[in-house]
Structure 1
């Protein structure tokens, strides 16, 4: 009788831990064990993300754990340093870094007219955005053609366009596609991720001043501190709808960072009564307003105050900034 062959013993091998698992564990190790990332850890984690060395499951867990915890200034600074090192952007002189990622839903994007007017007066502005990721909002990318804001698809185009027009829009997907992919997960994960906040801090060309708009209370000071840690000059506000646009109906608090020092400034509301928001957003109305074919109290105050904000970031005091902004607006070339 043939004896049965004994089963071969199992060979158990413990798989090596994925290098990114450490960072998920730091954020998610329970109420007592979890903590935020240090600046160096944030740098290392973002480097792996940018190099495509992270599994999708890890990416989703990482972003949502950060979102639940709320990102710190140290984390934002570390993430930004990693992106800048990875990006190796060329040296292009820029006055203002102008991130535009939120979109508008209550008022028209008056900030675009402010940027155009500043550019017409020699202020060099790099705008960048992450596409129309949320339904029901009007995004910068949708108005570039209407308002004749140049769309660039490479750093060479940015440099050439800034030399000609002082204003260029460069989509995030063309210079940091890894971050664009994370932003695009918004509808998969059901929540915005910290990358929406991070994009405001990046200032990829090291502009003289980075303008930032953070809508949610409490985050403005965190962003200011991240820019201070990076040694950047920045002005952070709670802009209308999350865009860099002063709401003239409310008090505006400026959170500034200059030469490593934090400063605060409060601007009073410019209108005694709140304006009624329009029933619908008609982009062509912006053209009519620029050309002087219609008057709009809210729009005029928003445009001039937003220009003043930018000029304040470039070193002018408030009164001078408002006077200069008014001069620029009144003397604009109305053909567009």
Structure 2
């Protein structure tokens, strides 16, 4: 039964008025998320909490606490931790093909298991993430089947509704409130299987430091946050973009580098992911997106020359077998800035 006042203390902290309101502490935010996911919160209070936090501007302690509370509501992961957590929660209104899926597949073929999870508001479009999974051989599986899928293929995608339906309900409050909320950020931070490396995309640059600060509070060892294509972890090969993150649990910053010249938009190509992956079309721009994105992921795993490995993986992508061996923790993380050169 819903308890109308269950969230009231946390709403009051945020909304007491000028000079009296403050941000939630990490324990308070954790407790608030626990109340929400338990079903003991009135929907009006949930909306008030999320919108007050948005108006104020979220801080790292709040995002970390909300994420910790969300993790506590998930069913336990039953297998070895994946090497990489790769969330996909961008709206996808302006992006083109989801080239980052091919990059994730290459990284998995290098032997680094990749757990993907997500929900995108424009799922029905031809360029949607889920529609393209099969194009590069990434299985979409229920949460309980994900450990087995990673053991077989090295990469798997879990839909948010299969991971935690209650979190999807919170995310879809955007349709009711007309605005995004901190839930979008929490889902990027979720890392449900405790992977040592997390790769996160953002659309708004200010969220890079916010997610980094929250990850630091959550004791995340490795993190890369990129202002990427459509808000995904996807590199634009003509742009030298600042990466924020963590290296061995300490704050880190680096640059992506550029691999092409020009001003082409990510969506300005008629090529499809399937055609490029299968080699039916030779699209240098699309290939540069894929290879440079894979290189950034490999660098986060400690590969010394990630661009070279990414190129090699691309050339032999159809010969690669299921991963056997290296995990992200098998290599010392490099302190040098990432290189995405082709």
**TM-score, with structure 2 as normaliser:** 0.86
Tell me the equivalent position of 2:259. 270
Unaligned runs of 5+ in 1: 1-15
How far apart, CA to CA, are the structure 2 residues paired with 1:277 and 1:212? 18
Offset of residue 277 of structure 1: 5.2
Aligned residues: 315
Query: Counterparts of 1:25-64 in structure 2 under 5 Å?
Result: 25-64=12-51
Offset of residue 17 of structure 1: 7.5
* Counterpart secondary structure, 1:128: strand
How far apart, CA to CA, are the structure 1 residues paired with 2:265 and 2:60? 36
Tell me the equivalent position of 1:9. none
How far apart, CA to CA, are the structure 2 residues paired with 1:291 and 1:138? 17
Query: Counterparts of 1:196-235 in structure 2 under 5 Å?
Result: 196-232=184-220, 233-235=222-224
Q: Structure 2 vs 1, CA of residues 27 and 247 (structure 1 numbering), >3 Å: closer, same or farther? A: same
Q: Structure 2 vs 1, CA of residues 58 and 137 (structure 1 numbering), >3 Å: closer, same or farther? A: farther
Q: Which has the larger radius of gyration?
A: 1
Q: Structure 2 vs 1, CA of residues 191 and 312 (structure 1 numbering), >3 Å: closer, same or farther? A: same
How far apart, CA to CA, are the structure 1 residues paired with 2:150 and 2:273? 23
Q: Structure 2 vs 1, CA of residues 23 and 108 (structure 1 numbering), >3 Å: closer, same or farther? A: same
Offset of residue 256 of structure 1: 1.9
Query: 1:292 touches 1:334 (CA, 8 Å); kept in 2?
Result: no
Q: Structure 2 vs 1, CA of residues 133 and 194 (structure 1 numbering), >3 Å: closer, same or farther? A: farther
Query: Counterparts of 1:152-231 in structure 2 under 5 Å?
Result: 152-155=141-144, 157-231=145-219
Q: Are 2:228 and 1:239 aligned?
A: yes
Offset of residue 241 of structure 1: 0.8
* Counterpart secondary structure, 1:98: strand
User: Could you tell me which of 94, 110, 130 is aligned with 1:141?
Assistant: 130
Offset of residue 98 of structure 1: 0.5
Query: 1:119 touches 1:166 (CA, 8 Å); kept in 2?
Result: yes
Offset of residue 316 of structure 1: 2.2
Query: 2:101 touches 2:133 (CA, 8 Å); kept in 1?
Result: no
**TM-score, with structure 1 as normaliser:** 0.87
Query: 1:103 touches 1:138 (CA, 8 Å); kept in 2?
Result: no
Unaligned runs of 5+ in 2: 321-342
Q: Structure 2 vs 1, CA of residues 295 and 263 (structure 1 numbering), >3 Å: closer, same or farther? A: same
Tell me the equivalent position of 2:116. 127
Question: CA deviation digits over 1:250-280, x for unaligned, max 9?
Answer: 1121112123310111122222211255567
* Counterpart secondary structure, 1:87: coil
How far apart, CA to CA, are the structure 1 residues paired with 2:135 and 2:30? 39
Query: 1:229 touches 1:260 (CA, 8 Å); kept in 2?
Result: no
Q: Structure 2 vs 1, CA of residues 196 and 133 (structure 1 numbering), >3 Å: closer, same or farther? A: farther
Question: CA deviation digits over 1:95-128, x for unaligned, max 9?
Answer: 1101001143232111011112222232211110
* Counterpart secondary structure, 2:203: coil
How far apart, CA to CA, are the structure 2 residues paired with 1:95 and 1:220? 21
How far apart, CA to CA, are the structure 2 residues paired with 1:206 and 1:274? 37
Question: CA deviation digits over 1:147-190, x for unaligned, max 9?
Answer: 432111132x1011111001111111122211110111111111
Tell me the equivalent position of 1:100. 88
How far apart, CA to CA, are the structure 2 residues paired with 1:287 and 1:73? 39
- Aligned CA RMSD, in angstroms, stands at 2.2
